[in-house]
Amino acid sequence: MSQIDDILGVGAIDRLRRPVGEARGLPGSAYTSAEFFELERKTLFPRTWMCIGFASDIPGPGDAMPLTAAGLPLVAVRGQDGAVRVFHNVCRHRAALIVTAPGKNLKQLACPYHAWAYGLDGALKATPWFDGTKDGTKHAIDKANYGLKAVRSAAWHHWIFVNLDGNAPAFAEHIRPLEDLLKGADLSAARISHREDWAWQGNWKLQPDNWETYHHIWVHKNIFTKMSDDLDLKTGEPKAEPLPLGTIMTLRRRAGTDFYPPANDLPYIPIPEGAERVRCTSVIFPNLTLTVQSDHLSSVVAIPIAPDRTVSQMGYFFVGEAATAPAYQKARDTVLDRWMGTTRRQGDRGGIRSQDMEVWEQQQIARRSPIADEVLFSPVWEKNVHHFQNMVVNVMAGANAPR
């Protein structure tokens, strides 16, 4: 019996792997157990491409950002060449943290403990007084062998990803299903307009578990006011088609419509001439969500902190000068009010983000009950949720992600 079975119970994975209409979801221990959370840190996050943050947080050369992934201290750095690199945030001398706070326009990364200095490319540059001499040349160590340890990483448009064990398929393969779906839409034309981090009391999986529109009319009732907003009442099919696509779980809006009415006067995300404009909201496995509307991007990186604590790093992007120019302020506010509420504060129940987090926190409490071990999936609405949960256990068990 595997360690996963020990925690989830015998037969839980077999029940999850049934067809969506017959399956049973992950039991409560997958959301509440410290053991399971530690197992995710060891066997899930390192094996795939985990999103660790927004590239816009380190916009200029010499900018550095300390962060944590799967419990490991990392640092993301933008070099003088403009490239984003990620290193283990650990000095090679005595294992002190090197970057302890975000930095701007740095020329080097200097350890605060003994002043060992590293270039923005991770190369060891100086070991002052290590051998009793100012420049450390009396008994010089081999600097080439003691640079910062690089982490396999990828920067894609506005996001930074890492593969901690170095063995996942190429990032291009990981992201290809979404790129194929978007048909050449130029996400890089959008620029960051608003960044916010909100912590909430729940398991990180509750965010990607939310990738269905079944809940809209009840949780977001100030925005989706009738069932026909999300369901074709004649066919019984959701207007946002659930599409599990391997490493991507998406809801693609049918009939060329947006999830929400576009704000007036905002420029649209560029697409190739003759290409179809796709509006979709997606989970990029395991922990990034991205909504592509005609006129903006809304994205959340779920940072797992503990079994019952997550930080949602939120970014909102608009095309070109619409991201910051005063002339577009009213239109931006229309969009951000919908997502975050008019106060832009966590707990503003007028906004989608707080509405979702309130339900997720309630779910976390309910997941402590044994009744939570018997949860169902709607074959109409919740194909993505079923697919996501299967991916979690498959990767943890060492299997390839389903395609």
- Looking at the structure, tell me whether residues 256 and 288 fall in a common domain: yes
pLDDT surpassing 60 at residue 401:
no
3-state secondary structure of 207: coil
What is the structure's pLDDT at 402? 42
Q: What is the pLDDT of residues 302-327, one digit of tens each?
A: 999 999 999 999 999 999 999 999 99
- Looking at the structure, tell me whether residues 148 and 222 fall in a common domain: no
- Looking at the structure, tell me whether residues 151 and 176 fall in a common domain: no
Chosen domain end from 155, 178, 210: 155
Q: What is the pLDDT of residues 131-166, one digit of tens each?
A: 888 877 788 888 999 999 999 999 999 999 999 999
Q: What is the pLDDT of residues 63-83, one digit of tens each?
A: 999 999 999 999 999 999 999
- Looking at the structure, tell me whether residues 234 and 305 fall in a common domain: yes
What is the structure's pLDDT at 117? 96
Q: What is the pLDDT of residues 358-373, one digit of tens each?
A: 999 999 999 999 999 9
- Looking at the structure, tell me whether residues 273 and 366 fall in a common domain: yes
- Looking at the structure, tell me whether residues 132 and 229 fall in a common domain: no
Chosen domain end from 125, 155, 185: 155
Chosen domain end from 89, 121, 155: 155
Specify if 1 maps to a domain. no
Specify if 42 maps to a domain. no
DSSP 274-305: TPPP--EEEEETTTEEEEE-SSEEEEEEEEEE
**Residue with the two structure tokens 């506010």:** 333
Specify if 160 maps to a domain. no
Specify if 84 maps to a domain. yes
Tally of domains within the chain: 2
1: confidence class by pLDDT, cuts 50, 70, 90: low
pLDDT, mean of residues 113-135: 92
Specify if 293 maps to a domain. yes
pTM of the predicted structure, to 2 decimals: 0.95
- Looking at the structure, tell me whether residues 106 and 180 fall in a common domain: no
CA angle 177, 43, 21 (to 5 degrees): 55
Asked if 111 and 89 touch (Cβ cutoff 8 Å), the reply is no
Please state, in angstroms and rounded to a whole number, the distance separating the CA atoms of residues 273 and 183. Answer: 11
Chain length of the chain: 403
Neighbours of 221 (CB within 10 A): 11
197-206 burial: b if 16+ Cβ within 10 Å, else e: ebebebbbbb
Specify if 6 maps to a domain. no
- Domain limits at 386? 170-396
* CATH value at residue 269: 3.90.380.10
